[in-house]
């Protein structure tokens, strides 16, 4: 088990700065997601940890030791490439055994570990096939097996679920989670999908434009994003300009009391759609009450999203599909003060 630390890491490609400055602490055995839009530098970060790219500045530490001078071959990391990078001229078996073979492990041991790992990834019946004869999910499992057989101290996966169809994606997600929990291996995976990051990771590192924007547990990131961009990326819809005074935020649609700490002045107020209650008659509680009219309705099966026009503002409310509120119906919204988040920067 290995703790990974990035200290002031920077990466330039010629005149272009892909990573401007990243500090990241990954605890031993932790499952961390690097989340960010395409081109923000996630793959580059992984490649630097693996040793495929040399940081232009800063340090990468494994268990507190600088690994800058340690060659790729000696870092003992595992990497599952986005497009798997299986050896097309080798069978599944040979692909998986490759890492042990080049390290000079003896035949009997290779044989033993090969059987074990093929069982784990359930590829026994495909062992004599070539990569070209496998489905996406099978190729991915080969790539994972090929990496795990070498007992890497850090496992990295670049967009492990991006190339799979929806059903397989769920299966693979569970597979990765179980595997990681069973082996307790420090794991870093890259994704541009915030749902995936939140579902899988212990902590999520949000990267924008080569900078670490926020590094937090999934629920903290979801409820308390540090900036409007992060809130936006995490799928927040109800973000409004507001003026803060004491514990009251004055937004276009009225004043809201909130519980969190904030300084007086201009800010943004964020209301999570699922934290808002929708009433058809005026509710008795008057605190944080917003009056409006249903202007749109989207049905997602289990959930319904209502768009409620409150003055000039459009507030989205997410509700379980226990009822259907008619369009144009007059409604009252309430939200508890502790479910309101203030974004200031």
Ligand X SMILES: Nc1ncnc2c1ncn2[C@@H]1O[C@H](COP(=O)(O)OP(=O)(O)O)[C@@H](O)[C@H]1O
CA-CA-CA-CA torsion sign (43, 231, 162, 176): positive
Q: Is 160 in the site for other proteins (CB under 8 A)?
A: no
Nearer to Mg ion, 50 or 249 (CB): 50
Site string for ligand X, 249-288 (x = CB under 6 A): ----------------------------------------
29-48: contacts with ligand X (CB under 6 A): 36, 38-44
Cα separation, 197 vs 168, whole angstroms: 16
Cα separation, 18 vs 14, whole angstroms: 10
Nearer to Mg ion, 157 or 172 (CB): 157
Least distance in angstroms from the C-beta of 139 to other proteins: 13
Residue selected from 2, 5, 43, 180 as contacting Mg ion according to rule CB under 5 A? 43
Q: Is 44 in the site for Mg ion (CB under 5 A)?
A: no
Closest CA to 206 of 240, 229, 173: 229
Q: Is 235 in the site for ligand X (CB under 6 A)?
A: no
236-272 burial: b if 16+ Cβ within 10 Å, else e: bbbbbebebeeeebebebeebebeeebeeeebbbbbb
Closest CA to 340 of 265, 283, 280, 287: 287
What is 194-211 written as a DSSP string?
Answer: HHHHHHH-SEEEEEETTE
Strands 265-271, 254-257: pairing kind: unpaired
Length of the chain: 345
98-117: contacts with other proteins (CB under 8 A): 98-99, 102-103
Nearer to other proteins, 98 or 208 (CB): 98
* Token couple for 45: 């970060």
Q: Is 54 in the site for other proteins (CB under 8 A)?
A: no
Q: Is 83 in the site for other proteins (CB under 8 A)?
A: yes
Residues in contact with ligand X by the rule CB under 6 A: 13, 16, 18, 36, 38-44
Residues in contact with other proteins by the rule CB under 8 A: 50-52, 72-79, 81, 83, 85-91, 98-99, 102-103, 128, 130, 146-147, 150
Residues in contact with Mg ion by the rule CB under 5 A: 43
């Amino acid at each position: 088990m290995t703790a990974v630390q990035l200290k002031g890491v920077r990466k330039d490609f010629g005149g272009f700065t892909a990573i401007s400055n990243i500090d990241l602490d990954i605890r031993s055995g932790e499952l961390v997601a690097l989340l960010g839009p395409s081109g923000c530098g996630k793959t580059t970060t992984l490649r630097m940890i693996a040793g495929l790219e040399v940081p232009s500045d800063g340090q990468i530490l494994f268990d507190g030791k600088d690994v800058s001078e340690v060659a790729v071959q000696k870092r003992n990391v595992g990497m599952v490439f986005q497009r798997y990078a299986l050896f097309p001229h080798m069978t599944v078996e040979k692909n998986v055994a490759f890492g042990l073979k080049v390290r000079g492990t003896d035949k009997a041991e290779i044989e033993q570990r090969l059987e074990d790992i093929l069982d784990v990834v359930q590829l026994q019946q495909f062992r004599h096939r070539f990569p070209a004869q496998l489905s996406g999910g099978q190729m991915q499992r080969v790539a994972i097996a090929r990496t795990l057989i070498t007992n890497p101290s850090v496992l990295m996966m670049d967009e492990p679920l991006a190339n799979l169809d929806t059903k397989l994606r769920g299966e693979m997600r569970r597979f990765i989670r179980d595997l990681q929990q069973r082996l307790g291996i420090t794991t870093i995976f890259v994704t541009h999908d915030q749902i995936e990051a939140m579902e899988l990771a212990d902590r999520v590192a949000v990267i924008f434009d080569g900078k670490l924007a926020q590094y937090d547990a999934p629920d903290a990131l979801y409820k308390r994003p540090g900036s409007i961009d992060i809130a936006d990326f995490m799928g927040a819809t109800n973000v409004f300009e507001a003026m803060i005074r004491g514990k009251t935020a004055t937004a276009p649609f009225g004043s809201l009391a909130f519980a969190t700490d904030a300084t007086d002045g201009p800010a943004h107020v964020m209301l999570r759609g699922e934290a808002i209650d929708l009433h058809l008659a005026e509710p008795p509680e008057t605190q944080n009450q917003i009056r409006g009219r249903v202007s749109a309705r989207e049905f997602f099966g289990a959930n319904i999203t209502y768009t409620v026009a409150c003055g000039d503002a459009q507030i989205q409310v997410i509700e379980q599909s226990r009822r259907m509120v008619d369009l144009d119906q007059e409604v009252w919204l309430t939200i508890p003060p502790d479910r309101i988040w203030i974004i200031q920067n």
